[in-house]
Chains A and B, each alone.
Chain A
């Protein structure tokens, strides 16, 4: 099956042009990352001032084996940062989900889908363009926020704690897991949006995708889960398989005729 990069590129560019005009997407892209970046740096700056405190000041916390050599405060900060970085990953899930869930539906509602489907663009090219168009702003925003967090932590927190924020597990998570999560989110959004007529329904269904991240965040801050490289790589492997399967399912589910004739 031949894929025209020109056509995929045209769809991506069109999606971006539409985002640029959408205030709600621009807000979603900027507000959550700013809050997270400021929150993580602010908490570290405040708590790092207590670096000389005795362990009793922080009470009893679970210490994962990978952090056993650190002071309780450093352990707490690493766990806090991990939890915040997990939260940062929600941007990569939530934003593309929001965009993708309304993607096909809004094309149908504004009657742009029929002329679009009448072009030589294949279903594969159309969905690939829409997926890339929705993923890229979220991934770029997440990476930018992560970069700012690393810079901020290197300035305000204990050096050992800052180093944990760019340990291999987090670099792999940001570089590999983040795009794959965004892709999963987009594919679910496209899948659902080619089956339902109301973008709100699609967006509500998509909220379930955040559950694994909430579980991950809770485990991290509770001390019973540690973001290690094997864990991230396992996640990458699983997501890569799920994403590729879901992509073909999305292409298969996208029935031009059904979408055109039954959605009135």
Chain B
């Protein structure tokens, strides 16, 4: 049967009550339209319900499968993000890390003997560690603003930026900030702040690479 635009819209609206994520919504919608186009006879919305029932069992079953899929995707993304972090130690990415080490030596004196740590380095860690949040918010609320459903990718992005930010800020608070509960010498404080800066830099660079490769594309 050939479906009209009004009928397609009816199918899209019907499916809104089913899948929770944009990716599965699109896939099931495409599947149903293909099935209907290969079916002889008159269109009826009950046919859609029948296809869901026969081919996908039910809407709750689809949601259940989506949760399994989301866990699998999160696991895959975690491993890919970790791989990107490890890649920063490989050629040619390693040069960025070496540059940071060089910076460590160059900034040692002004940082230890001045107030560079609290005025420049600590705020820059704050800004740097917030970058993944900007990517997430930009993707979810600007780039994907026309999506009917939320993307299955958001869960991983959301968890990653919150976890990354919290870990970095906690580490920074404990060892770097003025309110640190530990009484550290300026030299130790500088070494800690630099370690936090180094790890944050790796995390943010890995996140951006991962985002460009896996998140900014349409497919999961």
- Do A and B come from the same complex? no
Write the residues of chain A forming the contact surface with B, with a CB cutoff of 8 angstroms.
none
Write the residues of chain B forming the contact surface with A, with a CB cutoff of 8 angstroms.
none
